[in-house]
Chain A
Amino acid sequence: MLGPGDAVGTGVEFMRGLRGALDQGLELPAALARSAADLPRGVRDRVRSVARRLDGNYQEDEWGFDSEFVSLVEPGFDFLYDVWWRVKAVGVENVPAHGRALLAANHAGILPWDATMMSIAVMREHPLPRQPRFLVLNLAFDLPWFSVAIRKVGGVVASPYNAIRLLEQDQLVGVFPEGVKGTGKPYGERYQLQRFGRGGFAEIALRTGAPIVPVAVVGSEEIYPKLGESPLLARLMSTPFFPLTPLFPWLGPLGAIPLPSKWRIEFCEPIETASYGPEGADDRALVLELSERVREVVQQRVLENVVKRGPAFV
């Protein structure tokens, strides 16, 4: 790795080379090529890959997932995983190694950090790592830059059509059946799961025959402790709720810094759905029962893991 001093030195060297080449009457692209050729190898490769991206020469899949971008931001996520939140993941082997599957997790913490930490857990600790795709609250796709980053790391708009298409492509898909009600939980009720909507996720699993893996995430509840909310600001910003936390909105953008709680993520035994057949999705009673069964598993494991984790911040 280059230190900051080296980087500045290299930059100065590059500009000097460029200036020299331009003085000799070369055109800008040729001058750039000449001075780039004199850079150290590592830097040159980096410059080349940036240049390639600026030419539009990179791959994104039909959902906008960008694997180069993922490897670029990975060190940041690794830091959050290892140092900031000290995540302990258990039962990762319960995630099917291939084929379609639906991860159904509890949701807390306003911004979808729980989704990114679940991704890192599967990518790092699964014997056959695979990139989960997450259904992310619509609200997140209204935010500039943030929405672009979410797509690039595998988030899609929370639409049942998207979930079905992803599962039919045999992807691993993550959902938060509590939805926005989960992210807006008051701090005092943080381990209490909200209702699982109308069981849409269970319907999708039945329709596509995908097994459901219940996931309990503990720790995301403490990253943005919601002490209260402001209905007036929510109306002004046209958001479902406007959280007041110890840091937000008092510190402005810095208020988005999550607190360093300690996390545990447990992936539970998969619940098989294929035996009901796709017509099971039209059976309201079955859908609601399956949804409630998943909710009970997640609720119970959340409470167990709160105890196993011990104190929230140390």
Chain B
Amino acid sequence: MAGRRVLITGVGSPIGSALAGRLEADPEFEYVAGLDTRRPQAELLATEFIEADIRDPIIANLIPQAEVDTVVHNQIVRRPGPGMSSHSMHDINVIGSLQLLTACERSPSIRSIVIRGSAGIYGSEAHAPQFFDEEMARLYPLRTRFQRDVGEIETYFETYARRHSQVTCTMLRYQPAIGAGLDTQVTRYLSSPVVPTYLGFDPRLQLVHEEDGIDALVAAVRNPVRGAVNVAGPGTIGLTRLIRMAGRPSLPIAAPLFGGVTDAMRRVGLPVLSEDFRRFLRYGRGVDTTRLTEEVGFTPRYGTPAAVADWVQRRDGRRLLPSLSGALA
């Protein structure tokens, strides 16, 4: 039997590069291609780098030429990178996904598509169930720009899946990732000198360890299932405990002032908190990972508290607050 042929979009991102590295080392895969405008972050010897913008209609010619059986869509932008406007973030997310699915339609060899999407589609809501399962995506209206982007991508993808029943379409809904090798909203937030919180609230948060995030992607490529699958470290962690473990001083701000104060803090160089992330800090969010374990067959190695503990241990930054129990031991 011939090996599998995979194309990865967003291969220039840390997770895209790591995934390509994993797949090219795996004898099951005979061909790995990576599409991006940025070069991969690691030395990838066997991966064919296709330098193209996902928004460019030209990919509708490039992708069928690669004759792949699996496409991993790993180019959904969660926060605008340096020099990226929220408008171009929206373009990459929505128009990029649309172009990609159009290109897939012209590739008769495709058997499965895996999208690294976001659990942001569930939103962060005051009275939400503690754990969303995959059926609960539309319990609440989509409130933020990013949520609407993700909602649009999911709708395109569902339509595609309906029209092409021979293709297995997997939508992975990721909780925010944490890891020493990552630069995400969570790690930036926890690395700022003071960490703003909502006065009087301690939401339950859920994160996924970077290694589990990549392993889940590999597992879904090997064993694609139809429909949405949540990806998260089991369990939850309270924000207060998270900040204490990170060893940062928190700055509680009354809810009506939160937006204003954090905007002012941004001007003195503290990280930008997107609207989605602010809602995450106010209301939290947890997802149910039964489908990931039972259907995809992948059990995360790190629960959410363990993922945080691992990040605290491995990151380079020092604690700002001294460890008190260490001092008193």
Contact = CB atoms under 8 A, between A and B. Distances in A.
B126 A141 contact: yes
A30 B328 CA distance: 8
Interface residues of A, number: 37
Contacts of B131: 62, 161-162, 165
B201 interface: yes
A157 B202 contact: no
Interface string A31-58: 0110010000000100110011111111
Nearest to B312: A56
Contacts of A28: 322
Interface stretch (A114-122, A142-150, A294-302): A142-150
Chain B, interface SS category:
loop
A289 to B, nearest CB: 27
A159 B127 CA distance: 8
A148 B129 contact: no
Interface string B74-117: 00000000000000000000000000000000000000000000
B241 A56 contact: yes
Interface residues of B, number: 37
B328 A48 contact: yes
A21 B276 CA distance: 47
A60 B241 contact: yes
Contact of A56 (B127, B244, B322): B244
Contact of A64 (B133, B238, B242, B288): B238
B202 A148 contact: yes
A48 B328 CA distance: 7
Contact of B322 (A29, A60, A148): A29
B241 A63 contact: no
Contacts, number: 102
A51 B241 contact: no
Interface in A76-129: none
Interface string B308-329: 0000000000000011111111
B223 interface: no
Contact of A147 (B201, B245, B325): B201
B244 A54 contact: yes
A156 interface: yes
Contact of B126 (A36, A58, A60, A142): A142
Interface in B185-215: 199-202, 204
A57 B325 contact: yes
Contact of B325 (A55, A138, A148): A55
B281 to A, nearest CB: 14
Contact of A60 (B238, B245, B323): B238
Interface of B: 126-131, 133, 136, 199-202, 204, 234-238, 240-247, 255, 286, 288, 322-329
Interface of A: 28-30, 32-33, 36, 44, 47-48, 51-58, 60-64, 138, 141-145, 147-148, 151, 156-157, 159, 161-162, 165
5 contacts: A28-B322, A55-B247, A62-B286, A143-B200, A161-B130
